[in-house]
């Protein structure tokens, strides 16, 4: 079927928001830029699973068949999960939800509008090797956000460069909690799993009972790997069959510090128990930066030298 869903037109008035334009479109949703009544920009995500619903004109969303209505409603649960997950978190490195409402027979999530680009775009656009300083900067901040997420007993479960947004000032924001799960209240039937090959941990494919902070740690490690390589590591399900992943330490020896390469390899261990068990453990490992220390002390020495020369 080549029929695609119409996005809402520019200047469409959605409650107190005026739609400006479509920013992005995925299999389950469309994201718009819009302005609220004060003229401030917001991002609005519209639940619109393209395989289930049809909107060839106008604004009302209809299930394309009676059978699809059930699935449509069911998918709405995932959308609610995302809203629930994000509503609780108020952290500079996690996308902020401002409002959540129902209209046009579907549901909408209003988020703070951020200017910048995704880490994915950054990787694709870069001319030369991404600097270690940049990678460290992005991930130290990002991991602060992820730690906050885990503190709320939530797992993101889809950490990847496309879901990491870089503001124009360079600080990262964790986006798209569509796969997020409330780890403690997971007694209901599991929602259909969602994962991105290369960034999803092996337990996401086969062993949903073993999901934990270490699962997001794998995604973070894979994202760091992608920053260096400009491609994703081998998919975890294939790795379980036959592991072709070459360790970061082998590929980039000499170009990046041993510390960051070892951390990446550690995050990408197939056995969940062999990875850093918490974001904090991972942050601690990244903070131990022998190379930077060496550099600093070298610079310090130069400074000292200069100062002594001048002073002398």
Partner 1 sequence: MRFTIFQESRRGSRKVNQDRIAYTYGRDTLLLVICDGMGGHAGGEIAAQICARLFIERFQQEAKPVLRNPLKFLQDTMQRAHAALGSYANQFSMLETPRTTCVAVVVQAGHAYWAHVGDSRFYLFRQGGLIAQTKDHSKVQYLVDQGLIGAHEVVTHPDRNKIFSCLGGLVEPIVDLSKRTPLRNGDVMVLCTDGLWSVMPQNEMATWLTSTPILKTAPQMMREAEKRGGPEGDNLSTIVVRWGADLATEQASTATVTESLGLGEFETAIEKTVTLTDRAGANRDLTDDEIERAIQEIQSTIQKYRR
CB 132 within 8 A of CB 257: yes
Query: Looking at beta carbons, which pairs linking 44-49 to residues 24 or more positions away fall under 8 Å?
Result: 44/14, 44/17, 44/19, 44/108, 44/109, 44/110, 44/111, 45/108, 45/109, 45/110, 45/111, 46/8, 46/106, 46/108, 47/75, 47/76, 47/79, 47/106, 47/107, 47/108, 47/109, 48/5, 48/106, 49/75
Q: Of 189, 200, 223, give the one whose Cα is nearest residue 272.
A: 200
The angle at the Cα of 142, spanning 239 to 201, to the nearest 5 degrees, equals 15
Tokens of 228: 């260096």
Taking the complex as a whole, the smallest distance from the CB of residue 181 to partner 1 amounts, in Å, to: 16
CB of 77 to partner 1, least distance (A): 6
3-class DSSP state for residue 32? strand
CB of 211 to partner 1, least distance (A): 20
> Smallest distance, Å, CB 9 to partner 1?
22
Residues that bind partner 1 (CB under 8 A): 62-63, 66-71, 73-74, 76-77, 80, 83-84, 87-90, 97-102, 105, 107, 189
Which CB sits closer to partner 1, 109 or 138?
109
Residue placing its CB nearer to partner 1 in the complex, 188 or 250? 188
Q: How do 164-167 and 172-174 pair as beta strands? A: antiparallel
CB of 97 to partner 1, least distance (A): 6
Residue 98 vs 270, nearer CB to partner 1:
98
Closest distance between partner 1 and the C-beta of residue 179, in Å? Answer: 17
* Residue closer to partner 1 (CB basis): 42 or 63: 63
Round to whole Å and give the CA distance between 71 and 256. 47
Whose Cβ is closer to partner 1: residue 19's or residue 61's?
61
Q: Which is nearer to partner 1, 181 or 275 (CB)?
A: 181
């Amino acid at each position: 079927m080549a029929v695609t869903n119409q996005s809402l037109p520019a200047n469409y008035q959605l409650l107190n928001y005026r739609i400006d334009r479509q920013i992005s479109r995925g299999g389950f949703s469309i994201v718009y830029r819009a302005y609220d009544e004060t003229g401030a920009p917001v991002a609005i995500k519209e639940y619109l699973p393209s395989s289930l619903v049809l909107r060839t004109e106008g604004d009302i969303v209809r299930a394309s068949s009676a059978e699809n209505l059930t699935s449509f409603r069911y998918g709405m649960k995932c959308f609610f999960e995302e809203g629930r997950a994000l509503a609780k978190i108020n952290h500079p490195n996690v996308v902020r939800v401002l409002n959540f409402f129902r209209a046009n027979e579907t549901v909408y999530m209003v988020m703070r509008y951020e200017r910048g680009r995704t880490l994915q775009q950054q990787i694709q656009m870069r001319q030369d090797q991404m600097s270690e300083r940049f990678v460290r900067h992005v991930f130290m901040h990002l991991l602060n956000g992820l730690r906050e997420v885990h503190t709320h007993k939530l797992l993101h479960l889809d950490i990847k460069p496309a879901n990491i947004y870089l503001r124009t000032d360079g600080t990262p924001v964790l986006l798209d909690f569509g796969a997020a799960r409330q780890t403690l209240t997971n007694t209901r039937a599991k929602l259909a799993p969602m994962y991105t090959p290369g960034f999803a941990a092996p337990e996401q494919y086969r062993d949903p009972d073993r999901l934990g902070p270490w699962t997001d740690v794998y995604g973070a490690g894979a994202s760091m790997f992608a920053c260096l390589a400009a491609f994703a590591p081998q998919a975890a399900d294939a790795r379980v069959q036959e592991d072709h992943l070459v360790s970061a330490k082998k590929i980039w020896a000499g170009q990046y510090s041993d510390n960051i390469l070892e951390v990446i390899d550690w995050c990408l261990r197939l056995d969940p128990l062999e990875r850093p068990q918490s974001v904090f453990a991972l942050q601690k490992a990244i903070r131990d930066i022998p190379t930077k220390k060496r550099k600093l002390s070298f610079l310090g020495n130069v400074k000292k030298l200069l100062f002594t020369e001048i002073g002398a």
